[in-house]
């Protein structure tokens, strides 16, 4: 998953949300406002949060291409840049880099507002032609576009996500998980995610899935949820 970035990418801090976004300290390290980084006690990671604009679009395109390659290695085909980018105006990207400038993990947080749909709402419910219409009194977001190459960076990514959830006053998180992906399923369940009560039917995207004998078979996704008040303040050490 490694993608080398220019060391000058993040020099213009006007394009980056940081400082207020992250806790002032964590079990893994301390927040260094001068360098816009969480400094790990053993390894230096830079955690940045960006939204899409003219100055960050190239970096985000880099991340998305990397994500597509990660998905392709696992056999998924049919990724759509056009559909993916629809959600960028209401999303923020959390990107973790090591001290050499390599991207080692990332995730996108898409916030549900009254005027937009989450990626989940674009999928079709299995055995029907319907889609979920998410309307709740709680503030909801979806975490998507998640990948990593270095497990030791995940606590910093987790801390960063917690910060964004707090800033956006999020009450509940939704995620889509391929039940055949045991690694990701175990990761989310270990963090406390459970099968959604309101969105308990599997969903799929007709043009996205896995190719078998030169034929596309859509992937059926489970929807998991977690209330932010139930999230642990620290990343579970047994997941490292």
Task: Report pLDDT digits (tens) over 85-96.
Answer: 999 999 999 998
pLDDT of residue 186: 96
pLDDT of residue 42: 53
Question: What tokens does 170 get?
Answer: 């999020």
Is the confidence at residue 144, as pLDDT, over 90?
A: yes
- CA dist 38 to 16, 34, 78, 156, Å? 14, 10, 35, 7
**Mean pLDDT to the nearest integer, 145-166:** 91
pLDDT of residue 43: 55
Q: By residue range, what is the domain housing residue 123?
A: 13-231
Say if 192 falls within a structural domain: yes
Say if 215 falls within a structural domain: yes
The rounded mean pLDDT for the chain is: 83
Q: Which residues contact 82 (CB under 8 A, 6 or more apart)?
A: none
Which has more pLDDT, 199 or 43?
199
Name which of 8-22, 91-105, 132-146 the model is least confident about. 8-22
**Beta strand ranges found along 54-120 (DSSP E):** 76-77, 91-98, 103-111
Say if 154 falls within a structural domain: yes
Domain with 222 in it: what CATH number? 3.40.630.30
How many structural domains comprise the chain?
1
Is the confidence at residue 200, as pLDDT, over 50?
A: yes
Say if 144 falls within a structural domain: yes
């Amino acid at each position: 998953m490694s993608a080398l970035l220019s060391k000058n990418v993040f020099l213009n801090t006007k394009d980056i949300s940081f400082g207020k976004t992250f806790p002032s300290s964590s079990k893994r390290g301390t927040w260094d406002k001068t360098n816009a980084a969480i400094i790990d006690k053993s390894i230096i990671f830079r955690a940045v949060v960006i939204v899409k604009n003219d100055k960050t679009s190239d970096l985000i395109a880099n991340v998305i291409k990397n994500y597509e390659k990660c998905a392709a290695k696992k056999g998924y085909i049919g990724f759509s840049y056009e559909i993916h980018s629809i959600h960028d105006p209401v999303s923020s990207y959390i990107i973790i880099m090591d001290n050499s400038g390599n991207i080692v993990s990332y995730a996108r947080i898409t916030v549900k507002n009254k005027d937009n749909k989450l990626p989940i709402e674009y999928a079709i419910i299995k055995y029907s032609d319907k889609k979920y219409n998410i309307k709740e009194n709680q503030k909801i977001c979806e975490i998507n576009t998640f990948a990593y190459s270095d497990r030791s960076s995940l606590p910093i990514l987790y801390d960063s996500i917690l910060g964004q959830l707090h800033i956006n006053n999020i009450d509940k998180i939704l995620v889509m998980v391929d039940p055949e992906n045991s690694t990701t399923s175990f990761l989310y369940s270990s963090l406390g995610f459970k099968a959604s009560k309101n969105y308990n039917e599997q969903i799929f995207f007709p043009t996205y899935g896995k190719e078998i004998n030169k034929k596309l078979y859509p992937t059926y996704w489970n929807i998991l949820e977690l209330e932010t008040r139930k999230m642990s303040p620290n990343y579970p050490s047994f997941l490292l």
